Amino acid sequence: MSSSVIAIDGPAASGKSTAAKNLAKELGIPYINTGSLYRAIAWKAIRLGIGFSDEEAVCAMLKNTTVRYASPEPGANPEIEIDGTFPGEELRKSEVAGGASSVAVLPGVRSWTMGIQRDAAKHSMIVMEGRDIGTAVFPDARYKFFLTASPRVRALRRLAQDGETPDGATVESVAAQIAERDLRDSQRATAPLRQAEDAILVDSSDMTAEEVLFFMLSKIRKSVSASIEYQVPFADTDQMGVVYYANYLVYFEMARAELMRSISFSYTQMEKTGFGLPVLEAVCRYHSPAHFEDKLVITATLTEIKGVRLRVDCTVKRGDTLLAEGYTWHACLNSKTGRPSRVPGEISDLFTMGEGKKS
């Protein structure tokens, strides 16, 4: 489930929303701002006169609340719908933003929202941004970024956003509010704001939105690979305890299957969508033998796409020792017609998304 998520976390006004929107647009996949979920809760609490810090009252309200991410019109990006209503721009009011910060620290609220966020990523690849996506909501997300920026830059960005700050706000006052929010978010007991250990840090202080986008795309493209660990069983070896040469092609296939699964396009999913990837060519170069009970790491990497064909490179290692390397070329076929078909977007988008040109 989580392999289909690109998680973007960071503090307020760090540029994560702009980055997430741009990335989703470039990839042609949905984008979800999880902060809007907490804003929707605050929006309803305001309408009902419920105090933001009254966890019991807020949680009681949630028992009679229906929230989901849905498109307000066909083809539109998913937005928060609460009790059948799309609040839209009302969620950007400063009072709502402040309330969202307060309700977001309530453990009962965060527990309630977790399922909604996870449900939103069940059926397709998605860009999701917030403060704890890569640490709490999807801790095993394949792609994770943590955006930040200097306090002054963040204050200037927030001032430039309509409705996000009260009249008469200054850079200094907004910076102080942001610092207070950072402290509250980082010290809360449930899902505090922090960078995931495996997240890529992006300091956008001196970067344009386009530069942030291309940096993220380049990192994602480089990670279109997958590895598996495998301990050689006796059945894989010959009478001398050496792995039979043909089994390396089996190892390649095992890693390829994991690669496809990791990009949310497993062989099962491929069959459901009517595609097949028969092998056109298989090459393996042997460097050193593997033996019974050796612990191997087998890696498959998508390296090339040409029309209806794609290439996957594979390596087999024992520790730092390269035992074998090779590649396979595959043709993409329509399972119903048996005719060649262009590589599905679920695969080609991941590979080509780092190849855009700057204007």
59-84, pLDDT tens digit by residue?
999 999 999 988 888 777 788 999 99
Q: Do 167 and 204 sit in the same domain of this protein?
A: yes
Flag whether 218 is in a domain. yes
Q: Do 61 and 122 sit in the same domain of this protein?
A: yes
* Cβ atoms of 110 and 35 closer than 8 Å: no
Per-range mean pLDDT, top range of 73-77, 84-88, 178-182? 84-88
* Cβ atoms of 353 and 217 closer than 8 Å: yes
Q: Do 215 and 290 sit in the same domain of this protein?
A: no
Q: Do 331 and 187 sit in the same domain of this protein?
A: no
* Cβ atoms of 11 and 129 closer than 8 Å: no
Six-digit token string for 61: 């309200």
Q: For the domain that residue 318 is a member of, what is the CATH number?
A: 3.10.129.10
Q: Do 84 and 206 sit in the same domain of this protein?
A: yes
Q: Do 24 and 140 sit in the same domain of this protein?
A: yes
pTM: 0.64
Residue at which a domain ends, from 222, 242, 270 = 222
Residue with tokens 């060649």: 340
How many domains would you assign to the chain? 2
Q: Do 172 and 70 sit in the same domain of this protein?
A: yes
Cα 52 to Cα 276: distance, rounded to the nearest angstrom = 53
What's the mean per-residue pLDDT of the chain?
87
Cα 339 to Cα 5: distance, rounded to the nearest angstrom = 32
Cα 268 to Cα 263: distance, rounded to the nearest angstrom = 13
Q: Do 217 and 263 sit in the same domain of this protein?
A: no
pLDDT at 355: 46
Q: Do 165 and 257 sit in the same domain of this protein?
A: no
Percent of the chain with pLDDT over 90: 54
Q: Do 185 and 238 sit in the same domain of this protein?
A: no
Flag whether 172 is in a domain. yes
Flag whether 358 is in a domain. no
Dihedral pair phi/psi, residue 295, rounded to 5°: -100, 115
What is the mean pLDDT of the segment spanning 78-98? 91
Q: For the domain that residue 181 is a member of, what is the CATH number?
A: 3.40.50.300
Q: Do 240 and 111 sit in the same domain of this protein?
A: no
Q: Which of 5-19, 117-131, 203-217 has the lowest mean pLDDT?
A: 117-131
Q: Bigger pLDDT: 163 or 177? A: 177
Residue at which a domain ends, from 191, 222, 253 = 222
Distance of CA 127 to the CA centre of its chain: 5
Flag whether 357 is in a domain. no
Q: How confident is the model at residue 228 (pLDDT cuts 50, 70, 90)?
A: very high
Q: Tell me the residue range of the domain where 213 lies.
A: 2-222
Q: Do 143 and 264 sit in the same domain of this protein?
A: no
pLDDT in tens, 263-318: 767 788 788 888 889 999 999 999 999 999 999 999 999 888 888 999 999 999 99
Flag whether 317 is in a domain. yes
